[in-house]
């Protein structure tokens, strides 16, 4: 089967998580991704959080599947000559260096354009233009400056970062879409362009419902679906709302059988308005069906604590899976809190390629996430990440370097 991005070559200057997420996705879609790494060192994540001595970490392998690796000293003259050839040959250069690093290397947008006017240059930075544009940024910094930490957590508690890597992986996804759109536009303009995705922008974009609420709060001074309503205090900024969600569809996390010892014996329960009748029947509160206090979403809002307590009395009698089965039979939305351990073992995720087992020459087999995007005419086969410089000779040969020229480059440590 052909792949959506067959024939596209990506010059991959990314490292750590955000950029590699983007280029891994492009590789899964069929692009030939050439990862450029510092000779002798490589992407710093190769050695971070190692679980096996001298073996590429899971951190690295899980972000760099389906890529080829070339080592190159891009600050040496001969390394730069190799890089020029790569720029002329590739369709896209992707980077997530600290601000200005590509320019300091001597590869400004103007120089790249002169070498290859069709090249798309795609970058991830922590911030867009503005007061913080020169700052380095990592995941949790992005979550804090993008509005996520301020709005995650419980009232009276600290701001919280989330485990989902919305700053790194989230921004990588944005960049991948920008690249694919630029490739599409190039088919009519014939030109490359710059594509930029800032981590702060990406996190804020994902927090749009909180920006919505900020404006509602500014207008009304309160928000009825928040746990602070009616008795609590609303300040001037959107407060942290714990696990609450929605006005018409309030929800929260409730305990299930075994919660005393199992940290994941919980279920997210949504009191969706459309199935309110079914909820009352299932949890044994038929009397609420005719009680005007519980008749509409608006009359139920101030009684959510009472409602969720009753739901929890019911869910505590069964496992999260039993509760889900019973609730789903009535179309009542809910979700068991699934641990990583449970997700790893879930057969349906293996069957769809969302979780895949990969073999690695020095690590052996391990589990990783596969492509979350499923396409009927462009399937994804996840292949292992490259060893450092594994494809240096192969790529140099494709660029026209003879074996003796390759030996000379190696001798002067340019590759
Ligand atoms: N050959 C020679 N030098 C190389 C090279 C190569 N193949 N690859 C990288 N370098 C150099 C760079 O040119 C840079 O040199 P300079 O500082 O003299 O300009 C140096 O290595 C370090 O690169 P940098 O990206 O600044 O790494 P860092 O470890 O200092 O910073 C980050 C790491 C992630 C904080 C930073 O890259 C960053 O802010 N990136 C943008 C935001 C981002 O993606 N953050 C999330 C990461 S998950």
3-state secondary structure string across 178-200:
HHHHHHHHHHHHCCCCEEEEEHH
Extended strands (E) in 275-363: 334-336, 355-360
| Ligand 1 atom nearest to 97, measured from its CA | 25
Q: How far apart are CA 313 and CA 327, in angstroms?
A: 14
pLDDT in tens, 243-299: 998 777 999 999 999 999 999 999 999 999 999 999 999 999 999 999 999 999 999
Ligand 1 midpoint to CA 159 (Å) = 29
Question: Tokens 């050439």 correspond to what residue?
Answer: 34
147: Cα within 13 Å, side-chain hemisphere: 18
Tell me the backbone φ, ψ of residue 67, rounded to 5 degrees. -115, 165
**Residue 5, pLDDT above cutoff 80:** yes
Check if 304 has its Cβ closer than 6 Å to any atom of ligand 1. Answer: no
Alpha-carbon distance 183 to 191, whole Å? Answer: 9
Predicted confidence band of residue 1 (pLDDT cuts 50, 70, 90) = confident
pLDDT of residue 248: 74
Q: According to the model, what pLDDT value does residue 312 have?
A: 98
Q: CA 171 to CA 146: how far, in whole Å?
A: 12
66 CB under 6 A from ligand 1? Answer: no
In Å, the largest CA–CA distance within the chain is 87
If 0-12 CB within 10 Å is exposed, 13-18 middle and 19+ buried, where does residue 402 land?
Answer: exposed
Taking 90 as the threshold, does the pLDDT of residue 163 lie above it?
Answer: yes
Ligand 1: residue whose CA is nearest its atom 6? 38
Confidence of residue 55 (pLDDT cuts 50, 70, 90): very high
Q: Which two tokens stand for residue 342?
A: 């449970």
CB of 101 closer than 6 angstroms to any ligand 1 atom: yes
Bridge pairing between strands 120-125 and 92-95: parallel
pLDDT score, position 231: 84
pLDDT for the residue 128: 97
Quick one: which atom of ligand 1 is closest to the CA of 18? 48
**Per-residue pLDDT at 118:** 98
- Position 63 scores a pLDDT of 98
* Across 330-355, average pLDDT: 98
Ligand 1 within 6 A of 171 CB?
no
* pLDDT value for 230: 83
pLDDT level of residue 232 (50, 70, 90 thresholds): confident
The neighbour count for residue 165, using CB atoms within 10 Å, is: 18
- Residue 381 backbone class (left: φ over 0; alpha: ψ -120 to 50; beta: rest): beta
d(C-alpha 116, C-alpha 81), whole Å: 14
Residues that are catalytic:
168
Rounded to the nearest angstrom, the distance between the alpha carbon of 102 and the centre of ligand 1 is: 9
Sorted by sequence, the CB contacts under 8 Å of residue 383 that are 6+ apart come out as 65, 66, 358
What residue's CA is closest to ligand 1, atom 23? 97
**How close are the terminal C-alpha atoms of the chain, in Å?**
34
| pLDDT band for position 325 (cuts 50, 70, 90) | very high
pLDDT in the model for residue 39? 87
Q: 382: closest CA among 397, 396, 367, 398?
A: 367
Q: Which ligand 1 atom minimizes the distance to the CA of 37?
A: 7
Confidence class for position 8, pLDDT limits 50, 70, 90: very high
Q: Is 157 exposed, middle or buried, given 0-12, 13-18 or 19+ CB atoms closer than 10 A?
A: exposed
Which tokens go with 25?
């996705």
Distance (Å) from CA 403 to ligand 1 centroid: 30
Which residue from 136, 137, 173, 413 has its CB within 8 A of the most atoms of ligand 1, so it is best to mutate? 136
Question: What is the C-alpha separation between 143 and 141, in angstroms, rounded?
Answer: 5
> Which residues are within 8 A (CB) of 41 and not within 5 positions of it... i.e. 6 or more apart?
none
Per-residue DSSP letter, 152: S
Residue nearest to atom 12 of ligand 1 (CA): 101
Give the Cα separation of 241 and 237 in Å (integer): 12
Q: List the residue whose alpha carbon is closest to atom 30 of ligand 1.
A: 98
Closest Cα to atom 7 of ligand 1: 38
Q: Which atom of ligand 1 is nearest to the CA of 168?
A: 48
Average pLDDT of the residues of the chain: 96
- In whole angstroms, what is the distance from residue 114 CA to residue 122 CA? 16
- Report which ligand 1 atom has the smallest distance to the Cα of 19: 44
- Residues 136, 193 contacting (CB under 8 angstroms): no
**Ligand 1 pocket, residue 41 CB under 6 Å:** no
Ligand 1: centre distance to CA 47 (Å): 16
Helix axis angle for 18-28 and 168-189, nearest 10°, is 50
What does the DSSP 8-state code read for residue 44?
A: G
The Cα–Cα gap between 73 and 190 comes to 31
Place of tokens 């900020």: 214
Q: Which residue reads 């990583």 in tokens?
A: 340
Q: Where are the beta strands (DSSP E) in 85-130?
A: 92-95, 120-125
Ligand 1 close to Cβ of residue 392 (< 6 A): no
Measuring from atom 5 of ligand 1, which residue has the nearest CA? 38
Ligand 1 atom index nearest CA of 100: 19
Report the distance separating Cα 319 and Cα 221, nearest Å: 40
Nearest residue (by CA) to ligand 1, atom 33, is 98
The distance of Cα 330 from the centroid of its chain, to the nearest Å, equals 33
- Better pLDDT: 40 or 11: 11
Distance, CA of 398 to CA of 285 (rounded, Å) = 71
- Per-residue pLDDT tens for 175-209? 999 999 999 999 999 999 999 999 999 999 999 99
| Percent of all residues in the chain with a pLDDT value above 70, rounded to a whole number | 100
The full DSSP string for 6-41 is TT-EEEEE--TTHHHHHHHHHHHTT-EEEEEE-TTT
C-alpha 35/C-alpha 13 separation (Å) is 6
Give the per-residue pLDDT at 217: 97
Q: What is the pTM of this model?
A: 0.96
């Amino acid at each position: 089967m052909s792949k959506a991005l067959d024939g596209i070559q990506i010059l991959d200057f990314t490292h750590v998580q955000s950029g590699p997420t983007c280029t891994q996705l492009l590789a899964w879609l069929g692009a030939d991704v050439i990862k450029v790494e510092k000779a002798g060192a490589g992407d710093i994540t190769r050695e971070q959080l190692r679980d096996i001595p001298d073996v590429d970490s899971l951190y690295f392998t899980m972000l760099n599947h389906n890529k080829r690796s070339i080592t190159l000293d891009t600050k040496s003259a001969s390394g730069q000559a190799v890089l020029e050839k790569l720029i002329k040959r590739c369709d896209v250069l992707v980077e997530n260096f600290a601000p200005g690093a590509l320019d300091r290397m001597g590869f400004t947008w103007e120089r790249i354009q002169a070498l290859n006017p069709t090249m798309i240059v795609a970058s991830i930075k922590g911030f867009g233009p503005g007061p913080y544009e020169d700052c380095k940024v990592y995941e949790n910094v992005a979550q804090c400056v993008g509005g996520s930490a301020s709005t995650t957590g419980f009232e009276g508690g600290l701001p919280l970062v989330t485990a989902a890597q919305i700053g790194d992986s989230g921004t990588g996804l944005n960049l991948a879409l920008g690249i694919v759109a630029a490739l599409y536009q190039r088919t009519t303009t014939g030109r490359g362009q710059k594509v930029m995705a800032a981590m702060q922008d990406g996190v804020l974009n994902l927090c749009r419902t909180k920006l919505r609420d900020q404006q509602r709060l500014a207008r009304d001074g309160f928000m009825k679906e928040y746990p602070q309503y009616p008795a609590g205090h609303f300040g001037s900024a959107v407060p942290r709302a714990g696990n609450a969600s929605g006005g018409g569809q309030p929800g929260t996390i409730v305990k299930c059988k075994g919660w005393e010892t199992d940290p994941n014996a919980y279920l997210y329960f949504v009191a969706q308005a459309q199935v309110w009748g079914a909820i009352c029947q299932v949890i044994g509160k038929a009397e609420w069906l005719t009680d005007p206090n519980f008749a509409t979403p608006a009359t139920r809002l101030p009684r959510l604590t009472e409602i969720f307590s009753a739901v929890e009395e019911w869910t505590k009698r069964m496992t999260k899976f039993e509760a889900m089965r019973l609730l789903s039979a009535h179309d009542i939305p809910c979700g068991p809190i699934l641990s990583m351990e449970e997700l790893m073992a879930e057969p349906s995720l293996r069957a769809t390629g969302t979780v895949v087992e990969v073999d690695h020459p020095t690590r052996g087999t391990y589990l990783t996430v596969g492509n979350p995007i499923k396409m009927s005419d462009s399937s994804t086969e996840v292949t292992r990440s490259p060893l450092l410089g594994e494809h240096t000779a192969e790529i140099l040969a494709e660029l026209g370097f003879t074996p003796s020229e390759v030996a000379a480059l190696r001798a002067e440590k340019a590759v």
